[in-house]
Amino acid sequence: MSDKLIIFDTTLRDGEQSPGASMTKEEKLRIARQLERLRVDVIEAGFAASSNGDFEAVKAIADTIKDSTVCSLARANDRDIARAAEALRGAQRARIHTFIATSPLHMEKKLRMTPDQVYEQARLAVRFARNLCPDVEFSPEDGYRSEIDFLCRVLEAVIDEGATTINIPDTVGYAVPELYGNFIRTLREKIPNSDKAVWSVHCHNDLGMAVANSLAGVKIGGARQVECTINGLGERAGNCALEEVVMAVKTRRDYFGLEVGIDTTQIVPASRLVSQTTGFVVQPNKAVVGANAFAHASGIHQDGVLKARDTYEIMRAEDVGWSTNKIVLGKLSGRNAFKQRLQELGIVMESESELNAAFAKFKELADRKAEIFDEDIIALVGDESVTPEKERYALVSLSQHSETGERPHARVVFTIDGKEHVGEADGNGPVDASIKAIESHVQSGAELLLYSVNAITSGSTESQGEVTIRLQHGGRVVNGVGADPDIVVASAKAYLSALTKLHSQVERVAAQG
Ligand code: KIV
Ligand code: ZN
């Protein structure tokens, strides 16, 4: 059996299914470039048949990425599969990932299909996909809760039809490590042609065991592909976290005996990019990528680490990319230096005018903040005023007055489809007054689900504040992110960005719908 563990990243597909995490094509491309730098083996770029937007994003990623295989999800029907193949046409290496549910509950209640119908549809789907692409993955959705004999029958048939990877999803996060590992091993032992495919694990984190289950699938079950997302992003409690699984296999090579091709120094930059793009903040005590993951607060620990770092450290912070947080630019940096840093960060400006707008924003920021970090640049290019033509709602200016004992008042000037509007309101605090000022005019009817502020770079009150606002309206949930050294301005930007997303027409078919 191979000793290489394939890392399959699904941040842009399963991760993006998380309510509020939806990304634009440009954002997805930026993340795909970072995943390529991270050297993931497979990037699941989206679900091409779910919407025109997803199709375009998968196509753009397939046309751009050279070093990783680019994959699209497709339900087990000819239309979805043909659409995936079309989106992937420009890829150096492409994979079609087709799936259908196989658990009694999903077949009866969701699909309203008999097991024989599901068996036939799975077989035909893989046959059709193999005619379009040599690399085909098949997933029995809710596989872990499926009856083992039926699952064996389906999987044997799809391997016969040419499926090259068999992925066993724990779709609802119900598995426990030992049982999941044994489940994969039993399948591989019972299915006569199991050695013709690579076995893969795909675990959700509802009981907090996604990483442990995935590792058990590898160690006990013999799987050689792990499906995972940056920061464990994903619906509900998320997916298996890439950074944890990779560092576990690397750090405990003595136990797992496997190789991964990941450039671990790109882990923290990838984590930051995903969190800044989606507004899903990483908890400080999160393994590997949390702000405290390498911080030793207790005197005993600090003393030990200073004497010999392996007294309390099993990984080196710089090996996962913590040292990349360097001052890159300042007030005197020119347009070329700025452009070069954007290129190094994998950020491509679509036009000269977009580059000029971003550079003007950079100069404005450098006047107010002496040290500009990579995170500041990533936040800056995500700013709606850099790409005003793409944003329905954009901030022009904000003034507010607050004083101890007084009710704060805010006046916000903003554009809707390029036309200027002014809103004014009082509020409990300056942030509340600013949001009410926008709402006095927009009257969106949206419900605020989340408001959070984070310092983009740690250790200084000079840092930009990054605000995430989650809104819900008409069954949709969106996240808006805004950054500025002034957190009231950052809040207004985040609110306007959320309104833009709320009012953009996204018609998408849910993968598991
Ligand atoms: O969790 C799941 O079952 C999935 C499949 C579509 C692979 O994401
Ligand atoms: Zn999933």
Q: Are residues 336 and 395 in the same domain?
A: no
Ligand 1 atom showing the smallest separation from residue 143 Cα: 3
Number of CB atoms found within 10 A of residue 23's CB = 22
C-alpha of residue 208 to centroid of ligand 1, in Å: 17
Query: Residues 365, 330, 323, 463: what is their CA dihedral angle, to the nearest 10 degrees?
Result: -30
Q: Are residues 408 and 474 in the same domain?
A: yes
Ligand 1 atom showing the smallest separation from residue 73 Cα: 6
Q: Are residues 169 and 21 in the same domain?
A: yes
Looking at 382, 398, 428, the residue that finishes a domain is 382
Which residue has the CA at smallest separation from atom 2 of ligand 1?
171
Ligand 1 atom showing the smallest separation from residue 171 Cα: 1
Query: Among 13, 14, 105, 204, which is best to mutate for testing ligand 1, by the most ligand atoms less than 8 A from CB?
Result: 14
Q: Are residues 136 and 269 in the same domain?
A: yes
- Mean pLDDT per block of 10 residues along the chain (513 residues) reads 94 94 92 97 98 96 98 98 98 98 97 98 98 98 98 98 98 98 98 98 98 98 98 97 98 98 96 92 93 75 74 90 69 85 77 87 86 82 61 93 95 95 96 97 94 80 88 88 93 94 71 60
The CA distance from 96 to 82, in Å, is 10
Does ligand 1 have an atom closer than 6 angstroms to the CB of 511?
A: yes
Instruction: Please report whether residue 287 resides in a domain.
Output: no
Query: Among 13, 141, 240, which is best to mutate for testing ligand 1, by the most ligand atoms less than 8 A from CB?
Result: 141
The per-residue pLDDT for range 465-499, each reduced to its tens digit, is: 889 999 999 888 888 989 999 999 999 999 999 99
Any idea what DSSP says for residue 283? P
Instruction: Please report whether residue 512 resides in a domain.
Output: no
Instruction: Please report whether residue 76 resides in a domain.
Output: yes
Closest Cα partner for 9 from 54, 45, 47?
45
Which residue has the CA at smallest separation from atom 8 of ligand 1?
14
C-alpha of residue 257 to centroid of ligand 1, in Å: 28
The per-residue pLDDT for range 114-140, each reduced to its tens digit, is: 999 999 999 999 999 999 999 999 999
Q: Are residues 95 and 133 in the same domain?
A: yes
What pLDDT sits at residue 505?
63
3-state secondary structure of 450: strand
The 3 state secondary structure assigned to 346-390 is CCCCCCHHHHHHHHHHHHHHHHHCCCEEHHHHHHHHCCCCCCHHH
What residues have CB less than 8 Å from 391, skipping those under 6 apart? 384, 385, 496, 497, 500
Does ligand 1 have an atom closer than 6 angstroms to the CB of 14?
A: yes
What pLDDT sits at residue 512?
62
Q: Which residues are annotated as a binding site for Mn(2+)?
A: 14, 202, 204, 239
The CA distance from 240 to 230, in Å, is 9
Note down the domain range covering 304: 294-319
HSE of 300, CA atoms in CB hemisphere, 13 A: 1
Q: Are residues 311 and 440 in the same domain?
A: no
Does ligand 1 have an atom closer than 6 angstroms to the CB of 171?
A: yes
Instruction: Please report whether residue 284 resides in a domain.
Output: no
The CA distance from 348 to 360, in Å, is 16
Q: Which residues are annotated as a binding site?
A: 14, 202, 204, 239
CATH code at 224? 3.20.20.70
CATH code at 466? 3.30.160.270
Task: Tell me the average pLDDT of the chain.
Answer: 92
The CA distance from 192 to 396, in Å, is 66
Looking at 382, 400, 420, the residue that finishes a domain is 382
**Contact 370/332 with Cβ under 8 angstroms?**
no
Query: Among 44, 139, 226, which is best to mutate for testing ligand 1, by the most ligand atoms less than 8 A from CB?
Result: 139
Q: Are residues 251 and 332 in the same domain?
A: no
Looking at 363, 382, 401, the residue that finishes a domain is 382
Number of CB atoms found within 10 A of residue 194's CB = 17
What pLDDT sits at residue 2?
80
Q: Are residues 463 and 483 in the same domain?
A: yes
Q: What is the pTM of this model?
A: 0.88
Q: Are residues 336 and 425 in the same domain?
A: no
Does ligand 1 have an atom closer than 6 angstroms to the CB of 202?
A: yes
Q: Are residues 418 and 274 in the same domain?
A: no
The CA distance from 148 to 398, in Å, is 61
Beginning with the edge strand found earlier in the chain, give each strand of the sheet holding 476-484 in spatial order. 447-455, 465-473, 476-484
Q: Are residues 198 and 305 in the same domain?
A: no
- How many independent structural domains does the chain possess? 4
